[in-house]
Structure 1
Amino acid sequence: MVTMQDVAKLAGVSITTVSHVVNSTRQVAPATRERVLAAIEETGYTGDAIARSLVTGGTRSLGVAISVVTNPYFAELMQAIEREATASGYTLLLMDTHDEAEVEQSAVRMLRSRRVDGLLLTPTPTAPRSVLPELRQIGVPTVLVDRLPGFRGVDQVGPENVQATSTLVQHLGELGHERIGLISGRSGLTTSEERVLGYRLGVGRVGLPWDPALVSSGESSAEPASTALHQLLALDRPPTAVIAGNNVMMSGVLRSARAHGLRIPQDLAVAGYDEVDWADLVDPPLTTMAQPVAEIGTEAVRMLLSRIAEPGREDRTVRLPPRMIHRQSCGCAPE
């Protein structure tokens, strides 16, 4: 078990100095304070004062550990979180996890060292085996946002993925497409798994056979998505329609379609999970399933504040339904 003495040794200061930083009992020189905080982060120290302040909420601040650089969706989500937190009298401390497990753990520990009252987290695939058990054990009020791994003991809020993706497949199937491809997201993410499940459900609902060759991973990024569509188009029976699993991958899909000389929707119908701000600027405009981003961010903050106020209540999972925005990339005429 990590002790205050371990933190003091690593930071090169006295135990008294560490205590002053942890308990805010005396001013400490900024450079010294930063050394202590860095040592707390590195060691994972969660002394009684830190744990107690996390539970009782003495700093009027919320920590957010989120991957803000990989997807503009998360930037929009952060705006909603910040709005609601500010309106409730809280400040935000943001750490970018870069969607990497080690960075995530470091980010969470840094936020804990800053004694935030609670934590909003978009978990990486390894979080249920690493940071989440730790957060639950020490009683940090936590809400998981967007990616909902079904981890017991924490609140969770995000979009409904299964039925929404199924709806996109059904729409394309009803237009007569019998070979519908899916560019899926990064493996291991619950959002990716749920959208693949929704795809399978939609295929079955329109009476088409399940063909795993029609699902290709775009790893939630533009360039891999471009490669994934190239692989689908190389099949003996390539798809006549394709669904992009998120907004970033949609750009890769469109780039690959153009490289193959395909016209949308005449040669390849396209639809996407996630709205993009340029969806109605391209020709043809894109049919998308728009997530309720603002509602998710607002609900996440409200759930966290409720957890801080009532730490013993039952945990809740909230899924908010996306909305289909019907445009012409799927092959339909303008309404």
Structure 2
Amino acid sequence: MADVAQAAGVSVSTVSHVLNATRFVAEETRIRVEQAAVGLGYAMRLRREAPTGPTIGLALTGASNPYLAELILGVESEARRAGYAMLFCDTHDEADTERDAVALLQSRRVDGIVLAPTRGWERLTLPLLHRHNTPFVLVDRFAEVPCDQVGTDSEAAACRLVEHLIKIGHSRIGMLVGLPGLSTSVERVRGYQRAHRTLGLGLHPELMVDGDSSVPGGRRAALRLLRREPRPTALFAANNAMTIGALLALREENLAVGRDIALVAFDDLEWAEAMSPPLTAAAQPFHAIGARAVQLLTRRLDDPLASREIVRLPASLEHRHSCGCGVPLTGADSSSAWRARSRPARS
């Protein structure tokens, strides 16, 4: 191993990890070690052991987006039903980490991968998948890549939420916009814009503020909107993290949700009904999305030449009272309901 390490320009421990498959090693380094060993005339006896039985790999951000736990459960339960084990790697929503996670799953010889793509995945992860001819399905986020994909119809759900706000009397609706480059962010912006066009309300671009899909970003964006003159009478937070940021900003500005300002959100939260007032939100069918992703992947494994499928599942709209009214989301226009509850904007 010392000879191979010197020839490959790596440490002896790296050579050991390559030969014994005891730790992930970058593909370029692994190839260099194997070529050095062969070049020195050593017989390669690699222990690249696959997990017992067929296995599906799952790569998505779990730690930074705990609301995806239901999606993970959907993948795991459907994989088990189909006779597959599951290996999970957290990408932390970072392109470099995602690439390493997929490489690690490939090194464990999974049969296929369910992937929630990060920004930049086409540059780093997609070539890796193609190079090893690994069957994969995109989940939660869509991409302009010919492959199987499953997620929520974000545009339709966002449109319905904003339409409801317009119907109960709001004409200045601020939106906390998610990270650029993600299909979910793009679709929710389209839904916000479509609602305005459908109901003949003019758009105010200054009311759409980047919230970075994060708690701090949502707080900054909400404060920026709340300190405008005239202030928006409603906020639409386009993901769960920005919803928390918006709530922090509203508390900081001493504004009461549902009374001083309406609030609706994308992603239903476990504590949404515990809020006062409870949060009106679009709830994504994460368990069904995870299960459908596994179904698409096993179909691809059974028939590599099967036609590609893009599946968009509807979100359910949970109407509560943070929007400031008791009118069902599918109900008729009742702008008077909001006007009866709203108070004049503060200077």
Match of 2:143 among 138, 143, 149: 149
Match of 1:186 among 161, 167, 179: 179
Gaps in structure 2 of 5+ consecutive residues: 35-47, 329-347
Does the 8 A contact of 1:145 with 1:158 survive in 2?
yes
What is the CA–CA distance in structure 2 between the aligned matches of 1:290 and 1:303, rounded to whole Å?
Answer: 22
What is the CA–CA distance in structure 1 between the aligned matches of 2:233 and 2:17, rounded to whole Å?
Answer: 66
Identify the residue that residue 95 of structure 1 maps to in structure 2: 89
Does the 8 A contact of 2:14 with 2:25 survive in 1?
no
Q: How does 1:149-228 map to 2 (within 5 A)?
A: 149-152=143-146, 154-228=147-221
Higher mean C-alpha deviation, range 246-255 or range 129-138: 129-138
Q: 1:34-74 deviations in whole A, cap 9, x for unaligned?
A: 1xx433556475x9xxxxx9xxx984111111110111222
Match of 1:107 among 101, 117, 133: 101
Structure of greater Rg: 2
Does residue 266 (structure 1) correspond to residue 259 (structure 2)? The answer is yes
What is the CA–CA distance in structure 2 between the aligned matches of 1:210 and 1:17, rounded to whole Å?
Answer: 58
Q: Kindly state the Cα deviation for residue 241 of structure 1 after the two structures are TM-superposed.
A: 0.4
Does the 8 A contact of 1:284 with 1:328 survive in 2?
yes
Identify the residue that residue 127 of structure 1 maps to in structure 2: 121
SS in 2 for 1:200: helix
Does the 8 A contact of 1:327 with 1:334 survive in 2?
no
Identify the residue that residue 70 of structure 1 maps to in structure 2: 64
Q: 1:310-330 deviations in whole A, cap 9, x for unaligned?
A: 111111110101011111111
Identify the residue that residue 116 of structure 1 maps to in structure 2: 110
4+ residue segments displaced more than 3 Å = 8-18, 40-45
Does the 8 A contact of 2:116 with 2:138 survive in 1?
yes
TM-score, normalization: structure 1? 0.85
Does the 8 A contact of 1:41 with 1:110 survive in 2?
no
Corresponding residue pairs, total: 310
Q: 1:248-302 deviations in whole A, cap 9, x for unaligned?
A: 2211111111110111111110111111111111110111111111110100111
What is the CA–CA distance in structure 2 between the aligned matches of 1:17 and 1:221, rounded to whole Å?
Answer: 37
Q: Closer, same or farther in 2 for the Cα pair 1:236/1:320, shift >3 Å? A: same
Percent of pairs with identical residues: 40
Q: Kindly state the Cα deviation for residue 204 of structure 1 after the two structures are TM-superposed.
A: 1.4
Q: Closer, same or farther in 2 for the Cα pair 1:316/1:44, shift >3 Å? A: farther
Could you tell me which amino acid in structure 2 is paired with residue 239 of structure 1? P
Does the 8 A contact of 1:58 with 1:117 survive in 2?
no
Q: Closer, same or farther in 2 for the Cα pair 1:38/1:205, shift >3 Å? A: same
What is the CA–CA distance in structure 2 between the aligned matches of 1:160 and 1:126, rounded to whole Å?
Answer: 22
Could you tell me which amino acid in structure 2 is paired with residue 325 of structure 1? E
Give the alignment's Cα RMSD to 1 decimal. Answer: 2.8
Match of 2:301 among 298, 305, 308: 308
Q: Closer, same or farther in 2 for the Cα pair 1:33/1:265, shift >3 Å? A: same
Does residue 323 (structure 1) correspond to residue 311 (structure 2)? The answer is no
Q: Kindly state the Cα deviation for residue 133 of structure 1 after the two structures are TM-superposed.
A: 3.4
Q: Kindly state the Cα deviation for residue 137 of structure 1 after the two structures are TM-superposed.
A: 4.3
Q: 1:151-209 deviations in whole A, cap 9, x for unaligned?
A: 11x21000001111011110000000010011111121110111111111111122221
Does the 8 A contact of 1:59 with 1:117 survive in 2?
no
Q: Closer, same or farther in 2 for the Cα pair 1:91/1:11, shift >3 Å? A: farther
Does the 8 A contact of 1:279 with 1:285 survive in 2?
yes
Does the 8 A contact of 1:41 with 1:106 survive in 2?
no
